[in-house]
Amino acid sequence: METGAARLAIGTLSKHTGTNVETIRYYERVRLLPAPSRSAGGYRLYGTEHLKRLSFIRRARALGFSLEEVRTLLKLADERKRPCAEVRVVAEAHLDDVRAKIGDLKAMERVLKATVARCAKGTGSHCPVIDALYREPGTPGPALSAARSAIAPKRRSRGASAAAIRSFR
């Protein structure tokens, strides 16, 4: 990769992009960011292409793309033809995941709203929110069938949000 004329130390690159120094090193280790040249003293020296690539990675991560999706997008961006159709496939798959997460968040909101509504305005000693947080995942709580039926038919494996929703039921 052509590194460009600028020679930035890792701390300067970190400040320019808002990326933690350890994160920059991690991106190098996992080969999302190419290894920079080194000074005579062994310090990393980054060029403008590193700055551009790191900014690309940050923006993609901010949009929620996984590291593997970012890797795929970078490979496609590195190709001279920049195959937009292939990029679109990656982006559409990610959009589907984002929409599913939004659905999970809406279901979480409904479950939390119902749980909070069961609280006796903070005056009683029994607290449904505390009970729900202590309950083991999968242990049925008071009926929240509307939230359960809204989530169950469209469940795909999406990580912690599904477990959090189930633990409040």
**pLDDT tens-digit readout, 101-148:** 999 999 999 988 888 887 766 666 777 778 778 877 766 555 444 444
User: What pLDDT does 2 receive?
Assistant: 47
User: What pLDDT does 135 receive?
Assistant: 76
Contacts of 68 (CB under 8 A, 6+ apart): none
User: What pLDDT does 129 receive?
Assistant: 78
Residue type, 82: R
User: What pLDDT does 163 receive?
Assistant: 52
Decide: pTM greater than 0.85: no
The token pair at 39 is: 């000074």
User: What pLDDT does 141 receive?
Assistant: 58
Parts of the chain with a pLDDT under 70: 1-5, 120-124, 138-169
The token pair at 153 is: 């038919």
User: What pLDDT does 118 receive?
Assistant: 77
User: What pLDDT does 133 receive?
Assistant: 80
| Helix or strand run (H / E) with residue 37 | strand 37-38
Domains observed in the chain: 10-64 (1.10.1660.10), 100-168 (no CATH)
User: What pLDDT does 116 receive?
Assistant: 81
User: What pLDDT does 71 receive?
Assistant: 96
For residue 113, the number of C-alpha atoms closer than 13 Å in the C-beta half-sphere is 8
